[in-house]
Amino acid sequence: MQGQDWSAFQFEIYLNGMNGTVPRLPTDLSRLEEMAAQRLGPGPVGYVAGSAGSGRTERANREALDRWAIVPRMLRDVRERDLGVELFGRRLPAPVALAPVGVLSIMHPDAEPAAARAAAALGLPFTASSAADTTMEQIAEAMGEQAERWFQLYWPKDREVCVSFLGRAKAAGYSVLVVTLDTWLLAWRPRDLDQAYLPFLHGIGTANYFSDPAFRAGLAKPVEEDPTAAVLHWAQMFADPGKTWEDLAFLRDHWDGPIVLKGVLHPDDARRAADAGMDGVVVSNHGGRQVNGAIGAADALPGIAEAVGDRLTVLFDSGVRSGDDVLKALALGARGVLLGRPYVYGLGLDGEAGVTHVLRCLLAEFDLTMALSGYTRPGELTREALTRPGGA
């Protein structure tokens, strides 16, 4: 084994069984939602599990991955394997990062620091959401100096707040800026609407803003004196639906590291990202939480990889639930994937240990599936590894 031996987790689980111990959480990560629904509150679970409209696009994400089938190849000596990849100039032990997810404290009191520590302990990047309950500085501290961390920007209307966030993220050691393009407005989300549940109105997810000097300067009264006014101010400056491709020059001027645009679904938008001097895209429909009826993310992936794969680092999220999903995404042209809801359920069900469990399951399953399919490293995976049984 050249890289980290991710599949050792499988044997560890069986060995623990000799002492009568079985895993506290399911090892089929698609079952976590069901367990979370039994054990956690309906508001928080609805917020995480819910999606836009009828849930058509959330289902499309699964269907798009399920339409592909892996075609395993035999007798290829798969003893020496390495899941490691290079992303944005850094060597990572596996092609997986944690997706930016806001308001994690609705799932578990240990929230972002717990998830970030779990990622750091395995050497995987944690993407801190702008809408976190812990400041980016506190998350950085929880992760430790050397740990790879990315900052997700909800690009605010207020220029001063934007510049302040970028300066803080750089100072706190975030290496990659992930700019989310698909959430200028929150979509129509019936599960949240039916329960009239929105965490932000309770001030959840505003830690980066309420601690920010530029944000605070825009308030008539200090946050502590009038929290409701602070939340309302946050709501109107949090995003700017007026942004256009020309505005990316501003971000390029104020961030000297890699910039990745999250939420790209059309090859022409990916080309524009490359033309604007961006470094990567995340092919994503936000887990089906924004445009109901939108294309399944894995259906958009091959066209985008073909259009810009030689100019940009193409990442993927929306629907990844297993090691075979990771294999398919890489074979369809992604260089890495972001894991969303499964780690959030792991956090809700068992804190930091739950996130660790989820990541180790995903990567053990990916390593075993890759080996059993005849591949030894992510770079070997191409469309050749897959077929589409239904045709097309």
Ligand X SMILES: O=C(O)C(=O)c1ccccc1
User: What residues are designated binding site for glyoxylate?
Assistant: 47, 154, 189, 286, 289
- 286 contributes a contact to ligand X by CB under 6 A: yes
- 205 contributes a contact to ligand X by CB under 6 A: yes
- The three-state DSSP-derived secondary structure of the chain is CCCCCCCHHHHHHHHHHCCCCCCCCCCCHHHHHHHHHHHCCHHHHHHHHCCCCCCHHHHHHHHHHHCCEECCCCCCCCCCCCCCEEECCEEECCCEEECCCCCHHHCCCCHHHHHHHHHHHHCCCEEECCCCCCCHHHHHHHHCCCCCEEEEECCCCCHHHHHHHHHHHHHCCCCEEEEECCCCCCCCCHHHHHHCCCHHHHCCCCHHHHCCHHHHHCCCCCCCCCHHHHHHHHHHHCCCCCCCHHHHHHHHHHCCCCEEEEEECCHHHHHHHHHCCCCEEEECCHHHCCCCCCCCHHHHHHHHHHHHCCCCEEEECCCCCCHHHHHHHHHCCCCEEEECHHHHHHHHHHHHHHHHHHHHHHHHHHHHHHHHCCCCCHHHCCHHHEECCCCC
**Active-site residue, selected from the candidate residues 108, 233, 286, 357:** 286
Q: How far is the CB of 81 from ligand FMN (least distance, A)?
A: 25
Nearer to ligand FMN, 262 or 360 (CB): 262
The binder of ligand X chosen from 164, 183, 206, 376 (CB under 6 A) = 183
Q: Is 286 a catalytic residue?
A: yes
Q: How far is the CB of 343 from ligand X (least distance, A)?
A: 14
Instruction: Return the one option of ligand FMN, ligand X, none that residue 318 interacts with (CB less than 5 to 8 A, by type).
Output: ligand FMN
Question: In the complex, which residues of this chain contact ligand FMN (CB under 6 A)?
Answer: 47-48, 99-102, 129, 131, 152, 180, 262, 284, 286-287, 317-320, 340-341, 344
The binder of ligand X chosen from 102, 156, 280, 346 (CB under 6 A) = 102
Instruction: Return the one option of ligand X, ligand FMN, none that residue 209 interacts with (CB less than 5 to 8 A, by type).
Output: none
Instruction: Cite the annotated binding site by residue number.
Output: 47, 100-102, 129, 152, 154, 180, 189, 262, 284, 286, 289, 317-321, 340-341
- 131 contributes a contact to ligand X by CB under 6 A: yes
Q: How far is the CB of 286 from ligand X (least distance, A)?
A: 6
Q: How far is the CB of 286 from ligand FMN (least distance, A)?
A: 5
Which positions lie near ligand X, rule CB under 6 A? 102-103, 131, 183, 205, 286, 289
Catalytic center residues:
286
